[in-house]
Structure 1
Amino acid sequence: MGGQYAPRQLYYNGSVQKATSSKTFQSIDPSTGTPLAEIHVASNRDVDAAISSATEAFKTWSTTPAIARARILLKAVQILRDRNDEIAKVETQDTGKPFSETSTVDVVTGADVAEYFANLVGGGGLNGETAQLREDAWVYSKKEPLGRIHPLLGQVPAEIYTEAGVPAGVFNIVNGAGDVGGYLTSHPGIAKVSFTGQVSTGKKVAGAAAGNMKYVTMELGGKSPLIVLPDSDLENAVDGAMMANFFSTGQVCTNGTRVFVHESMKSAFEKRLVEKMQYIRAGDLWDMNTNFGPLVSGVHREKVLGYIKHGIEVDRATLLYGGLGQPSVPRGLEKGFWVKPTVFTDCTDSMKIIKEEIFGPVLCILTFSAVDEVIQRANDTPLGLAAGVFTKDLNLAHKVIGKLEAGITWVNTWGESPAEMSVGGWKQSGMGVENGRRGIEAWVRNKSTLVDMSGASVTVYSKL
């Protein structure tokens, strides 16, 4: 697959809109390093127009009966599923993820989330509450929705939602870098900001949003611990560690990059891990047997290689697998943003590759001797996005999980995050949650009302 896409403009008010700015940037195919499409950047004027469109749409969409909104969203879900492979192909070219991943995970889970929320809302999941205060007084609450604005793939779901019947202006796309994002987050017409990215950027976004007292959801970085206890199933633990570090080429916020292995299992764990590393297959992204793609950009590739080099030359960790350079790939892919899946062992807590988020396919092994010790070390980070433990002792698993300072945790697995599961980071890894009932409640504001039917207001100002 390959080829050049038509230039991508903006999308708001239910249709493609031409950007008033002359600025553009290129979307690059990460597997080949070749341009895919020219993306037009929004100006402040364009952002204002998109927000105005959203404001108008909000008046009708927010008052549309929940069951009617649910029907429209479920229609969009069906279109997403019907066009699964088409959307997955665009995602593969845009991000460098193998088609085996985008076609079975990305679009599927996106549709699952939309379906879950549609059914939740349609079934009364956002209804308010009532309480009888006394015989002639009641308290009721209602949840009122907040407004929302949303390169290459973004226009596709926007068109699908429009096709499904979502009113013009409800789903909008403006392209741009930090300046466009900054204008959005500080704009008085925006009520809520949701951001996914690195911690330093998230702090800036949250700070800008706080200036106007906006609601925020932050899903930021992590340096998550994956703990392998001595009684764990070796095969399952190795599989979990690989999924926690090499899925999506390690470009997942919840990566379990600090793999704590009990000292009694170190040799066996490393031996089986190296054996299974052979099952990582870089190559043609359209081959369903390929399960490892390039990094998303050349800049990011250099960043990840810098960490690998530092791990070898400065941290002096033992390089168990991979390293500098790129994996063997078919002809025509040599200029892609590839890195080798890499494993370091004999790591210590003070190493840079242990302390900083790499956001790439770099697995680091540390050993421990006692449960209390590993819990303390696992928590010794300003981040708290995810954590996990592998053990056959579920009582112990619950005790360990209960002491780990992370918002998303797993036992004997890693990475699955279904629509029903509310997820969010602790400490500097985030604010608020996504998915689940609590996730959708982050997009509404609560209004409480007390109704007194007695006809006599409570007062202290009466005649003596």
Structure 2
Amino acid sequence: MQANPIEPGFSSVATVSEVTREYLAKEHLLLINGEWVAGEQGDSIDTFDPATGEKIATVAIGHQADIDKAVAAANAAFISPWSKLSHFERAKYLSKLARLIEDHAETFTELEILDNGMPRFISALTIQNISEMFDYYAGAAQRIEGTTTNPPRHITEVAEALTYTVKEPVGVAGQIVPWNVPISTAVLKLAPALAAGCTVVVKPSEETPLSILLLGELIIEAGFPPGVVNIVNGYGYDAGQHLAEHPQVDKISFTGSTATGRKVIAAAMGNLKKVSLELGGKSPVVIMPDADLSLVVPGVAMATFFLQGQNCMAGTRIFIHESIHDECIEQIAAFARQFVIGHGLKPETFIGPLISKAHRDKVYGYIQKGIEEGATLVCGGNMLAGEGNFIEPTIFTNCTPDMAIVKEEIFGPVMAVQRFNTTDLDEIAAMANNTEYGLSGSVWTTNLSTAHSLVARIRAGQVSINCHGAIGTNIPFGGYGQSGWGREFGQEGLDAYLETKAVTARL
């Protein structure tokens, strides 16, 4: 691994394309009712490259009055014209937006690297996925269908009748987006909401707003009616809180920490708005004695260290059968030591920076706590010198269920390994399920009978066999327990923005 990931004097802004530099130099405002506005208080914040500390742009900040205006615009657009468009017409808007994203793919890729710190290979894949997401929901919009069913008996006893259901949009959706995969999370909320006929107010993270604001420019270029999509950058405790509690918002969708998710629930109780939550995770990775290490080693390393561990489905609780424990750890550690740490703009980079110095310090605090509580540090564990927020990929063994690094979501590149010596699937599942979370997980074995039997026992919304984090646009994703409410992606992601109306007609 590189000891000094950023050369002295390196400027990321100077390195990106001219188109991206021109975009960064622009005035970045709030999108309300189809217009870019400065916001009621006219204040702004700077956003920084987490790999270098370099200022990359200045962005307007919205407050409660701006949320009020955005919600009013969304309500007006919902009443007319958006909810009255045919499914086919809405689909055309989504398809056009997908093509515009493809046209601006390099700018989106560079913005995510600069604003978030993610390595290029992740950012490029993310941008490909978001265009596919709009295409998927453009198709799904044309397949919104109700059903016919048997009318109630007390009607049919006296007359013929017809009973059917129709699917209708929920209304105005507030969408609160995190900083770890900003544009992807925004689109996985935005695309199904628009396909369903909802209008939206998006609140990006104040730390990573740039790619979502660029998406706003493309939404205008695609010809969406004013007010259908509004983007209000702001702080969670202010703009986010007000959006969640707003009486004219019909649904709130939030991705973030479990602690903040509870606050969103409390705020949404005022008008009992519908709520979708994608929250924390502490996902189990179970490696059976017959596992193929040629798959396990890169797969498990990726499960923990992908996006510097700053992803909710990261496989950070590793369970390894004692018969292969030492060999497995030796190989995973050797694999992790080969990761290139650096700026995401460099094509060879696998590990980028954490989002901020505060978050880096928090993650490093967990590493120190792991040492204090008696876990064995196998590799990593260091903050790297310089302006960037870098921490080495870190592996602990000899962990126990009561340790903080095992129980709590760290959201950083820290793997906590526990060994087991049983082949009883109920006992193994009990270890895997010993957490308040239930978002993701994986099982590694060459015995498919064992794999499916163990998957059936693991309480999580998404479990993979001989791979980890196998998510896709068409596959529902969400969690059990403290990992949230509802599902995103796939048909279930669309259903979250639809109401079902039952109609009975006496003929």
Q: Where on the TM-score scale, by shorter chain, does this alignment land: which range?
A: over 0.9
Partners in 2 of 1:317 and 1:43 — Cα distance? 45
Partners in 2 of 1:12 and 1:127 — Cα distance? 32
Aligned with residue 357 of structure 1, among 400, 409, 433: 409
- 1:55 and 2:75 correspond: yes
Alignment correspondent of 1:433: 487
Note the residue ranges of structure 2 that are not aligned, 5 or more in a row.
1-11, 15-23, 174-200, 203-208
Residue identity in the other structure for 1:12:
I
Question: Is this contact kept in 1: 2:44–2:59, CA < 8 A?
Answer: yes
Question: Is this contact kept in 2: 1:251–1:359, CA < 8 A?
Answer: yes
Q: Deviations over 1:56-87 (max 9, x none)?
A: 11121111010111111011111111211111
- 1:110 and 2:130 correspond: yes
Partners in 1 of 2:340 and 2:438 — Cα distance? 31
CA RMSD between the two structures: 1.4
- 1:158 and 2:179 correspond: no
Alignment correspondent of 2:188: none
- 1:167 and 2:191 correspond: no
Partners in 1 of 2:467 and 2:263 — Cα distance? 33
User: Structure 1 vs Structure 2: percent identity of aligned residues?
Assistant: 36
Deviation, structure 1 residue 54: 0.8
Question: Is this contact kept in 2: 1:10–1:40, CA < 8 A?
Answer: yes
Alignment correspondent of 2:183: none
Question: Is this contact kept in 2: 1:309–1:324, CA < 8 A?
Answer: no
Q: How is 1:362-441 mapped onto 2 (pairs within 5 angstroms)?
A: 362-370=414-422, 371-441=425-495
Question: Is this contact kept in 2: 1:294–1:339, CA < 8 A?
Answer: yes
Question: Is this contact kept in 2: 1:100–1:287, CA < 8 A?
Answer: no
- 1:24 and 2:82 correspond: no
Question: Is this contact kept in 2: 1:249–1:292, CA < 8 A?
Answer: yes
Residue identity in the other structure for 1:142:
V
Deviation, structure 1 residue 132: 4.3
Q: How is 1:147-296 mapped onto 2 (pairs within 5 angstroms)?
A: 147-148=172-173, 149-150=201-202, 151-177=209-235, 178-296=237-355
Aligned with residue 95 of structure 1, among 90, 108, 116: 116
Q: Deviations over 1:84-141 (max 9, x none)?
A: 11111011100001122201x111111222111111112x2x1111124358211111
Alignment correspondent of 1:130: 148
Report the secondary structure of 1:324's partner residue. Answer: coil
Alignment correspondent of 2:19: none
- 1:311 and 2:370 correspond: yes
Partners in 2 of 1:412 and 1:402 — Cα distance? 15
TM-score relative to the length of structure 2: 0.85
Deviation, structure 1 residue 24: 2.6
- 1:39 and 2:56 correspond: no
Report the secondary structure of 1:193's partner residue. Answer: strand
Alignment correspondent of 2:5: none
Partners in 2 of 1:214 and 1:400 — Cα distance? 37
Partners in 2 of 1:142 and 1:282 — Cα distance? 52
- Greater alpha carbon shift after TM alignment, 413-422 vs 144-153: 144-153
Partners in 1 of 2:239 and 2:502 — Cα distance? 35
Aligned with residue 139 of structure 1, among 163, 168, 189: 163
Alignment correspondent of 1:444: 498
Aligned with residue 337 of structure 1, among 377, 384, 389: 389
Deviation, structure 1 residue 194: 0.4
Deviation, structure 1 residue 7: 4.0
Partners in 2 of 1:82 and 1:363 — Cα distance? 38
- Greater alpha carbon shift after TM alignment, 371-380 vs 350-359: 371-380
Deviation, structure 1 residue 422: 0.6
Residue identity in the other structure for 1:109:
N
Residue identity in the other structure for 2:244:
T
Partners in 1 of 2:470 and 2:34 — Cα distance? 34
Alignment correspondent of 2:379: 321
Partners in 1 of 2:42 and 2:226 — Cα distance? 25
Question: Is this contact kept in 1: 2:64–2:238, CA < 8 A?
Answer: no
Deviation, structure 1 residue 25: 2.3
User: Matched residue pairs, number?
Assistant: 443
- 1:66 and 2:118 correspond: no
Partners in 1 of 2:213 and 2:228 — Cα distance? 13
Alignment correspondent of 2:25: 5
Partners in 2 of 1:310 and 1:26 — Cα distance? 33
Distance 1:85-1:416 versus aligned 2 partners, 3 A rule: farther
Q: Deviations over 1:177-209 (max 9, x none)?
A: 111111111111111100011111000101111
Partners in 2 of 1:175 and 1:267 — Cα distance? 48
- Greater alpha carbon shift after TM alignment, 440-449 vs 127-136: 127-136
Note the residue ranges of structure 1 that are not aligned, 5 or more in a row.
328-333, 454-464
Residue identity in the other structure for 1:145:
P
Partners in 1 of 2:38 and 2:31 — Cα distance? 8
Residue identity in the other structure for 1:446:
T
Question: Is this contact kept in 2: 1:243–1:415, CA < 8 A?
Answer: no
Partners in 2 of 1:31 and 1:284 — Cα distance? 6
Question: Is this contact kept in 2: 1:227–1:259, CA < 8 A?
Answer: yes
- Greater alpha carbon shift after TM alignment, 241-250 vs 132-141: 132-141
